[in-house]
């Protein structure tokens, strides 16, 4: 099952590289934008993972760069505070996720004056780490991939973004040795956005 994570990571990386090359080769009237977003929301294990991990709060940071009017490259880091339900006394567990992905963005539409709404969808891959907060047990590191969708309400360089990501990640036993298995969870986040525009060609 770990093979599936490897395939997801390979496909996402290949798409990222190929689309980035195409975008660099195209001339558009849209200026390059770097975006920074601070995210906050919920970490929700699903399926078999519900017996292993507790729901928790998640906070994070995203940095994005537009590649074309419809595509953006996004790097994300998230920190979820959970508990290991499968371990003795269900100790506190930090779940760290870092990944890079591509977003397809629909054109923003005005909904009220200068306020716009823009839906988007994306996919990406990266790493997932599980670390006991108060136990001397080595952290476990696993590959992870995601598919996500959401919408962004914007006004100039500022915006509010809502996103749901469905993650498939490897999961190794935290207290005993064993092989990695695939587990599923969902992250639902809201974010404040600020864009840095670069009009130079």
DSSP assignment of 126-142: EEEEEEESSS----EEE
- Most confident listed range (14-18, 80-84, 130-134): 80-84
29 domain residue, yes or no: no
Average pLDDT of the chain, as a whole number = 83
67 domain residue, yes or no: yes
30 domain residue, yes or no: no
In the chain, the number of structural domains is 1
150 domain residue, yes or no: yes
CATH of the domain at 171: 2.40.160.20
31 domain residue, yes or no: no
End-to-end CA distance of the chain: 46
**pLDDT tens digit sequence for 61-107:** 999 999 998 999 999 999 999 998 877 788 999 999 999 999 999 98
pLDDT above 60 for 201: no
pTM of the model: 0.78
Q: Which domain holds residue 72?
A: 2-24+36-198
Do 36 and 63 touch, CB atoms closer than 8 A? yes
156 domain residue, yes or no: yes
**Lowest-confidence region among 41-45, 125-129, 152-156:** 152-156
């Amino acid at each position: 099952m770990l093979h599936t994570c490897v395939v997801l990571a390979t496909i996402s990386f290949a798409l990222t590289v190929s689309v980035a090359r195409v975008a660099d080769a195209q001339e558009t009237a849209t200026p390059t934008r770097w975006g920074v977003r601070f995210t906050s929301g919920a970490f929700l294990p699903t399926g078999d993972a519900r017996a292993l991990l507790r729901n928790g709060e998640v906070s994070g940071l995203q940095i994005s760069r537009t590649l074309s009017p419809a595509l953006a490259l996004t790097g994300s880091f998230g920190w979820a505070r959970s508990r290991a339900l499968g371990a003795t006394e269900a100790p506190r567990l930090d779940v760290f996720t870092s990944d890079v992905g591509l977003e397809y963005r629909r054109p923003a539409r005005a909904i009220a004056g200068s306020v716009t709404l823009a839906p988007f969808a994306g996919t990406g891959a990266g790493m997932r780490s599980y670390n006991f907060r108060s136990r001397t047990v080595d952290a476990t590191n696993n590959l992870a991939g995601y598919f996500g969708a959401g919408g962004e309400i914007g006004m100039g360089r500022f915006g509010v973004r809502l996103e749901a990501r469905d993650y498939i990640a490897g999961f190794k036993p935290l207290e005993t040795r064993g092989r990695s298995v695939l587990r599923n969870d969902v992250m639902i986040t809201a974010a404040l956005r600020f864009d840095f525009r670069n009009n130079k060609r």
